[in-house]
């Protein structure tokens, strides 16, 4: 009997990722919503303006199903050093508490 080829994800909703607390998040919970997936870095020179604009965007469209998933990114000039919890705590000051903070 021939083996079945592996099943590859067909959409973002097929992934399970970790949040900043280390908990699994099944992205299928966001089906039917609009996702904005962003890399963020607290030491980037544009952090304040980017977070302000993300907050404005979220407030404007949250009732229409917008969800923002924020991933820390330390790949560009080491602008997001430290742990996932550090990122979550720093970002919570700048971003809306309703955003989902994910692990790097």
State the catalytic residues: 44
Name the nearest CA neighbour of 103 among 46, 32, 41, 19.
19
Alpha helices in the chain (DSSP H): 47-61, 84-94
Locate the DSSP E strands across 1-104.
Answer: 16-18, 24-26, 34-40, 66-72, 100-101
């Amino acid at each position: 009997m021939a083996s079945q080829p592996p099943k590859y994800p067909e959409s973002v909703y097929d992934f399970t990722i970790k949040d900043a607390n280390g908990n699994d998040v099944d992205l299928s919970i966001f089906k039917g919503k609009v996702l904005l997936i962003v890399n963020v870095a607290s030491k980037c020179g544009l952090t304040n303006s980017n977070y302000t604009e993300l907050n404005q965007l979220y407030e404007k469209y949250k009732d229409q199903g917008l969800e923002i998933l924020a991933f820390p990114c330390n790949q560009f000039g080491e602008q997001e050093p430290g742990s996932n919890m550090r990122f979550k705590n720093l970002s919570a000051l700048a971003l809306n508490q309703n955003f989902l903070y994910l692990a790097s």
